[in-house]
Structure 1
């Protein structure tokens, strides 16, 4: 019996851990509620990612969410004023439940761009 337990323990310790990462997936959806489908990632995919993008101004702002499994962790957070793009990643199963909606259009950057453009136009006209 001891030999069996030792052999069992050795087998458990020597066995490679199987990848069982599950992520929520969706592609270019308008709402996080459309991103509730689960998917078993491939063994080489170690991260779940959520990409959230927004573009437009005022009431014409559009939002898009993409969720998927990923080999690497490409975290980004870019804000161009009227367009913003953010990617968050995590490494536990179903960790990408919520949308990465912490980015917002920066109206101060938009205003600064408009003022700068006006100054350039006024200086050229003088």
Structure 2
């Protein structure tokens, strides 16, 4: 019985990955609805990546979403009030379905940034 278990364990450890990763893919989409196309990743691509960039100033705002496969996991993010950018990665079947990651432009910080800009402009005129 031990020999059979060892043989089974050796077989499992030596078998290559039976399935390939499938991720959602898009490039510079303005909403997540444009990012629902599944693609099969290459042999060395082990991560699904979502890149989100959002900008808001006054009443105008915009965002760009890109998704795809990647051989590395470049998880990062920045939020400076009027702009936010993030890169999120995961490693399971169609795991990058979300249109935005944890970083989003904060309306409070946006308003504060605009208010500070007005004070700076008024002060520069004096």
Q: Distance in 2 between matches of 1:113 and 1:58?
A: 10
Counterparts in 2 of 1:113 and 1:61: CA distance versus 1, 3 Å: closer
Partner of 2:86: 86
Q: CA deviation at 1:38?
A: 0.8
| 1:122 matches 2:117 | no
Structure with bigger gyration radius = 1
Structure 1: gaps spanning 5 or more residues: none
Contact 1:78 1:85 in 2 (8 A): yes
Q: 1:92-118 CA deviation, whole Å, 9 max, x = no partner?
A: 010111112543323444455455553
Contact 1:31 1:65 in 2 (8 A): yes
Structure 2: gaps spanning 5 or more residues: none
- Calculate the aligned-residue CA RMSD, in Å: 2.8
| SS of residue in 2 equivalent to 1:56 | strand
Q: Distance in 1 between matches of 2:82 and 2:9?
A: 59
Range moving further from structure 2, 12-21 or 89-98 = 12-21
Contact 1:87 1:100 in 2 (8 A): no
Normalised TM-score (structure 1): 0.74
Partner of 1:65: 65
Q: Distance in 1 between matches of 2:103 and 2:8?
A: 49
Q: Distance in 1 between matches of 2:77 and 2:110?
A: 17
Q: 1:37-86 CA deviation, whole Å, 9 max, x = no partner?
A: 11111111111011111112243100111001111111112112111101
